[in-house]
Chain A
Amino acid sequence: SQTIHQWPATLVQPVGSPLSLECTVEGTSNPNLYWYRQAAGRGLQLLFYSVGIGQISSEVPQNLSASRPQDRQFILSSKKLLLSDSGFYLCAWDRGYEQYFGPGTRLTVT
């Protein structure tokens, strides 16, 4: 069966510090991968998606970036965090119809 992992589960970082969140998928190959952010009281916002290794598309221009160094690994990064980057970050995968979400990372920027 397929599983999706995210880490860390929670993170508290000061403004201006770098960020690296990791997502890995097991049990499938060549999945489409997605990064979402969920701010308090708001719906999920698609940040990045990838249809293959090294292929990244950005939905929202901001100080975040994403990379896909391996087929089942998706990384969300920032060189300098802003207060507005605080939120719940979700990784998801699909290979067609159904989309499956990871457990999420709670990021608090102080």
Chain B
Amino acid sequence: KNQVEQSPQSLIILERKNCTLQCNYTVSPFSNLRWYKQDTGRGPVSLTIMTFSENTKSNGRYTATLDADTKQSSLHITASQLSDSASYICVVSVGQAGTALIFGKGTTLSVSS
């Protein structure tokens, strides 16, 4: 069964601290892995997309890693800001079609001052 599991479910950190979110997947065949940021009451916004051959990709203070052998990905946030408070969703694609996306339940990150 195709599944995407994210951990932790929620996380609270202090401003300017770093944090790492985890994503494990059992999806086959694998096409790409995406991380989205979803602010409360808004639609998700793409942070990174990685294909099988990519093992790291950065977008500002966000760095995603992918280990296709262990089927794990992480999203590292550096020097967190209050505006990073959001839900972070890991999505794995089993093909090129948009209908082939498997969504994780997300990690809710709260950054406090």
Contacts and interface: CB of A to CB of B under 8 A. Distances in A.
B46 interface: yes
Interface residues of B, number: 20
Chain A interface residue count: which class?
20 to 34
Interface string A98-110: 1111111010000
Given A43-B106, A44-B103, A49 B98 contact: yes
Per DSSP, chain B at the interface is mixed
A59 interface: yes
Given A57-B99, A99-B101, 19 more contacts: A32-B98, A34-B98, A41-B105, A43-B104, A43-B106, A44-B103, A46-B101, A49-B98, A49-B99, A88-B41, A92-B43, A92-B98, A94-B98, A97-B49, A97-B96, A99-B98, A101-B36, A103-B42, A104-B41
A-B pairs with the 5 shortest C-beta distances? A101-B43, A43-B103, A44-B103, A43-B105, A94-B98
Interface of A: 32, 34, 41-46, 49, 57, 59, 88, 90, 92, 94, 96-104, 106
25 contacts: A32-B97, A34-B98, A42-B105, A43-B4, A43-B103, A44-B44, A49-B98, A49-B99, A59-B99, A88-B41, A90-B43, A94-B98, A96-B96, A97-B32, A97-B49, A97-B96, A99-B98, A99-B101, A100-B46, A101-B43, A101-B44, A102-B43, A103-B42, A103-B43, A106-B41
